[in-house]
């Protein structure tokens, strides 16, 4: 509604008597006496309020409403625009401009609440005078006489306690507000501010909840029913009682008919219209809680929790809902399979990242978010075991002194470590002698990687991990190359994704873009990759990890396209991993128990987790073209340092 012209075509002839029908039958007050008292009271109150405006110096400054932004619900969507959840504090609200609110609803609300809205200057002397008489007859505050402007300032500034002084304050503030805002601005603010029941604040969330449509498209019947809610939203809610809702709807339509804002035919048709209810949406959960909870944590860290709950942000995630559901279903399927093998209490986490953008494409924090919201993909730090070894070998390659075919000897060795001696051993307990690094990683030999780690320096290995985004506490101890630290599946997937992108890295994120409710961009996570690793060394470690899949411990992860990866198994079988990649997608899968007890004797990443990775990747890459990795020969080998 852009101006009062919206109502002029159907504006009624003002009838003084119509405002007093509710007083019929009041004891000893005659019609003439009542009219005289009302006119006198109206004059006194109107004049008194103007005078009081000077003395009410401690009231709020309504000028701040020029820059007022009501608390508004934040909405989170998938990458294609599918709504995943809404996040809000006390007020579930989506603000819409006045021209996107149905004229039916604007007329219905004004007919019900303030039919003289476009005529008065904040207070309606006739309405106030009528309220004075009613309250005098009743011996207490029974009638409010509030205009829409008065209701707005009450909602924004004043307590809900019924008192004469509060009523005077409402009038003073209403007069002030009408001096700084237009009628349309006040009506827009009111319609977006008012409470409609079931934690719906503002017309848009209410329309979507009650009728599953935008406020822009509300019919006359729906609008009248909504307008009837304002006085007692939960009581007159059609979700609570359709009978009472229809009753108030009829009263609003009757008022509109009496005002000549609708004709008899429109009145009759509106009453006959079938009301198709939506559903209460304010308290429903998330469609993809592992995603939306992670988003909420990122937003709270970036903007603060207050802005998250009240800032009305529109958040586009990096995740396709269908893809995420496929990932979750894969995890549930393999959880049941492992239970069938006697692996009780197993949990599975999965993270998939596009290495070209570092956008998270799937993030599964456990087998069932309904029973446990703990996100093992982002919050659980578990030992990576042998899946840590590529970080050591990359560090060696980056020095320029080593390459995939450099020889390392797998033989008994001991190290002074702290107050004692450390005697590392291989998983099979034996030794294989001299071998190239390619073979050492493919067979996941422990002693060779410790020797290489010692040769290049454990502090250099830690520097590599920090560059890759692994921030867990690390000490340059002899066992570090065997993964004796805590990492999250997200950290592992992101680190391998940087290898797969030949050293180019962007911060991993589940958020693509954030705007406010007006479309202004608050956060744009368009990838801005930086080269953080040596490209030759990155391509070399990918090339070596391809051997893991073709002839090493990761054979169970082989798919019908080039892939690279690494198994991981801790010595006590508490944490079992497979982390692997193709040029377009990097995925980390972890299996373990929340109580950190042994999962199963002799469990391995190659035997237990690689098949899960394979199953997921085959589904994920179903319509994705096959790509080859770039060989190390396409890059310049670093000079020895």
329 is catalytic: no
DSSP 342: T
**Whole-Å CA distances, 2 to 100, 180, 187, 188, 216:** 10, 17, 10, 10, 14
Reply yes or no on whether the pLDDT at 172 is more than 90: no
Q: Rounded CA gap, 508 and 469, in Å?
A: 9
* Contacts for 401 with CB less than 8 Å, ≥ 6 apart: 456, 640, 641
Instruction: State the pLDDT at residue 611.
Output: 97
- The full length of the chain comes to 641
Convert the pLDDT of each residue in 202-236 to its tens digit: 899 899 889 999 999 999 999 999 999 998 888 89
Catalytic residue among 42, 72, 102, 113: 113
* Neighbour tally for 35: CB within 10 Å: 15
Instruction: State the pLDDT at residue 64.
Output: 59
> What confidence category does residue 150 fall into, taking pLDDT thresholds of 50, 70 and 90?
confident
More confident residue, 132 or 346: 346
* Neighbour tally for 447: CB within 10 Å: 21
Reply yes or no on whether the pLDDT at 12 is more than 50: no
Alpha-carbon Rg for the chain in angstroms:
35
Instruction: State the pLDDT at residue 59.
Output: 58
- In 3D space, the residue among 436, 356, 397 whose CA is nearest the CA of residue 636 turns out to be 397
Q: Rounded CA gap, 56 and 123, in Å?
A: 16
Q: Specify whether the CB–CB gap between 376 and 596 falls below 8 A.
A: no
Q: What is the third-level CATH fold of 325-510+521-634? A: Beta-lactamase (3.40.710)
Q: Rounded CA gap, 570 and 605, in Å?
A: 9
219 is catalytic: no
Q: Specify whether the CB–CB gap between 312 and 92 falls below 8 A.
A: no
Instruction: State the pLDDT at residue 73.
Output: 84
Instruction: State the pLDDT at residue 518.
Output: 87
Reply yes or no on whether the pLDDT at 30 is more than 90: no
At residue 499, the 3 state secondary structure works out as helix
DSSP 261: S
Partners of 316 in beta bridges: 77, 513
More confident residue, 5 or 586: 586
Angle at 115 between CA 244 and CA 138, to 5 degrees: 65
* Average confidence (pLDDT) over 258-286: 87
pLDDT, averaged across the chain: 85
Q: Specify whether the CB–CB gap between 358 and 494 falls below 8 A.
A: yes
Alpha helices in 74-199 (DSSP H): 103-113, 125-138, 148-157, 164-180, 183-193
Catalytic residue among 86, 386, 444, 563: 386
Partners of 514 in beta bridges: 315, 523
Instruction: State the pLDDT at residue 66.
Output: 61
* Average confidence (pLDDT) over 623-632: 97
Min mean pLDDT across 11-20, 354-363, 518-527 is at 11-20
Instruction: State the pLDDT at residue 8.
Output: 35
Q: Specify whether the CB–CB gap between 437 and 393 falls below 8 A.
A: yes
Reply yes or no on whether the pLDDT at 549 is more than 90: yes
Instruction: State the pLDDT at residue 13.
Output: 33
Convert the pLDDT of each residue in 427-440 to its tens digit: 888 999 999 999 99
Min mean pLDDT across 89-93, 158-162, 274-278 is at 158-162
Q: Rounded CA gap, 155 and 65, in Å?
A: 13
Q: Rounded CA gap, 143 and 136, in Å?
A: 10
At residue 34, the 3 state secondary structure works out as helix
DSSP 487: B
Reply yes or no on whether the pLDDT at 376 is more than 90: yes
Convert the pLDDT of each residue in 47-92 to its tens digit: 555 555 444 555 556 665 665 667 788 999 999 999 998 887 666 7
> What confidence category does residue 579 fall into, taking pLDDT thresholds of 50, 70 and 90?
very high
**Percentage of the residues of the chain whose pLDDT score is greater than 70:** 83
Convert the pLDDT of each residue in 581-592 to its tens digit: 999 999 999 999
**Whole-Å CA distances, 180 to 51, 239, 268:** 19, 39, 40
Instruction: State the pLDDT at residue 132.
Output: 55
Q: Specify whether the CB–CB gap between 145 and 127 falls below 8 A.
A: yes
More confident residue, 41 or 363: 363
Instruction: State the pLDDT at residue 175.
Output: 85
Q: Rounded CA gap, 229 and 499, in Å?
A: 59
Q: Where are the domains of the chain?
A: 5-55+88-272, 325-510+521-634
Q: Specify whether the CB–CB gap between 172 and 56 falls below 8 A.
A: yes
* Average confidence (pLDDT) over 370-382: 89
More confident residue, 297 or 314: 314
- Determine the number of helices (DSSP H) and then strands (DSSP E) in the chain: 22, 18
**Whole-Å CA distances, 288 to 208, 309, 362, 548:** 21, 18, 10, 34
Instruction: State the pLDDT at residue 360.
Output: 98
- In 3D space, the residue among 382, 559, 367, 343 whose CA is nearest the CA of residue 485 turns out to be 382
- Is there a common fold for 5-55+88-272 and 325-510+521-634? no
Instruction: State the pLDDT at residue 512.
Output: 98
Instruction: State the pLDDT at residue 195.
Output: 84
> What confidence category does residue 294 fall into, taking pLDDT thresholds of 50, 70 and 90?
very high
Reply yes or no on whether the pLDDT at 36 is more than 70: no
Q: Specify whether the CB–CB gap between 168 and 47 falls below 8 A.
A: no
Instruction: State the pLDDT at residue 540.
Output: 98
Convert the pLDDT of each residue in 457-491 to its tens digit: 999 999 999 999 999 889 999 999 999 899 999 99
> What confidence category does residue 1 fall into, taking pLDDT thresholds of 50, 70 and 90?
very low
Q: What is the CATH number assigned to the segment(s) 5-55+88-272?
A: 1.10.3810.10
> What confidence category does residue 325 fall into, taking pLDDT thresholds of 50, 70 and 90?
very high
């Amino acid at each position: 509604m852009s101006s009062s012209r919206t109502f002029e075509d159907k504006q009624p002839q003002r009838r003084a008597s119509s405002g007093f029908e509710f007083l019929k039958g009041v004891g000893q007050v005659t019609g003439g006496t009542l009219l005289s008292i009302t006119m006198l009271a109206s004059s006194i109150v109107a004049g008194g309020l103007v005078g009081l405006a000077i003395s009410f110096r401690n009231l709020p400054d309504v000028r701040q409403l020029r820059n007022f932004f009501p608390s508004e619900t934040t909405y989170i969507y998938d990458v294609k625009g599918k709504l995943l959840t809404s996040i809000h504090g006390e007020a579930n609200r989506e603000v819409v401009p006045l021209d996107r609110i149905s004229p039916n609803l604007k007329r219905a609300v004004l007919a019900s609440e303030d039919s003289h809205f476009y005529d008065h200057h904040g207070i309606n002397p006739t309405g106030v005078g009528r309220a004075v008489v009613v309250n005098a007859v009743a011996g207490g505050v029974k009638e409010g006489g509030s205009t829409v402007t008065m209701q707005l300032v009450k909602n924004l500034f004043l307590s809900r306690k019924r008192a004469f002084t509060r009523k005077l304050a409402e009038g003073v503030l209403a007069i002030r507000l009408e001096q700084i805002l237009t009628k349309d601005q006040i009506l827009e603010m009111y319609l977006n501010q008012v409470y409609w029941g079931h934690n719906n604040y503002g017309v848009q969330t209410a329309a979507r909840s009650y009728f599953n449509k935008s406020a822009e498209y509300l019919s006359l019947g729906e609008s009248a029913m909504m307008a009837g809610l304002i006085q007692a939203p939960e009581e007159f809610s059609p979700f609570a009682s359709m009978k009472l809702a229809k009753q108030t709807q009829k009263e609003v339509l009757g008022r509109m008919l009496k005002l000549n804002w609708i004709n008899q035919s429109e009145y009759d048709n509106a009453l006959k219209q079938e009301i198709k209810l939506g559903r209460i949406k304010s308290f429903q959960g998330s469609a993809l809680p592992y995603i939306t909870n992670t988003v909420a944590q990122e937003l709270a860290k970036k903007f603060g929790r207050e802005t998250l709950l009240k800032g009305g942000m529109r958040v586009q995630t990096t995740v396709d809902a269908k893809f995420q559901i496929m990932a979750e279903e894969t995890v549930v399927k393999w959880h049941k399979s492992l239970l069938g093998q006697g692996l009780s209490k197993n949990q599975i986490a999965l993270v998939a990242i596009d290495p070209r953008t570092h956008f998270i494409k799937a993030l599964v924090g456990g087998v069932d978010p309904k029973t446990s919201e703990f996100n093992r993909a982002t919050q659980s730090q578990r030992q990576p075991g042998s899946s840590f070894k590529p970080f050591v070998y990359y560090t060696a390659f980056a020095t320029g002194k080593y390459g995939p075919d450099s020889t390392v000897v797998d033989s008994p060795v001991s190290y002074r470590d702290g107050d004692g001696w450390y005697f590392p051993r291989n998983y099979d307990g034996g030794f294989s002698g001299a071998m190239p690094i390619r073979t050492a990683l493919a067979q996941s030999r422990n002693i060779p990687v410790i020797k290489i780690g010692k040769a290049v320096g454990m502090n250099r290995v830690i520097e590599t991990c920090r560059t890759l985004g692994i921030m867990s506490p690390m000490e340059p101890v002899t066992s570090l190359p065997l993964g004796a630290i805590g990492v999250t599946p997200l950290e592992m997937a992101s680190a391998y994704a940087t290898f797969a992108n030949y050293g180019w890295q962007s911060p991993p994120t589940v958020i693509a873009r954030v705007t406010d409710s007006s479309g202004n961009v608050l956060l744009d996570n368009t990838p801005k990759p930086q080269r953080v690793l040596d490209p030759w060394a990155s391509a070399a470690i990918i090339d070596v990890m391809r051997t893991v899949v073709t002839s090493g411990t990761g054979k169970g992860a082989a798919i019908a396209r080039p892939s690279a990866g690494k198994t991981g198994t801790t010595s006590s079988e508490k944490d079992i991993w497979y982390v692997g990649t193709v040029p377009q997608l990097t995925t980390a899968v972890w299996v373990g128990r929340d109580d950190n007890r042994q999962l199963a004797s002799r469990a391995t990443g190659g035997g237990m987790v690689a098949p899960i990775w394979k199953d997921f990747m085959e589904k994920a890459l179903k319509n994705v073209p096959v790509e080859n990795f770039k060989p190390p020969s396409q890059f310049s080998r670093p000079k020895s340092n």
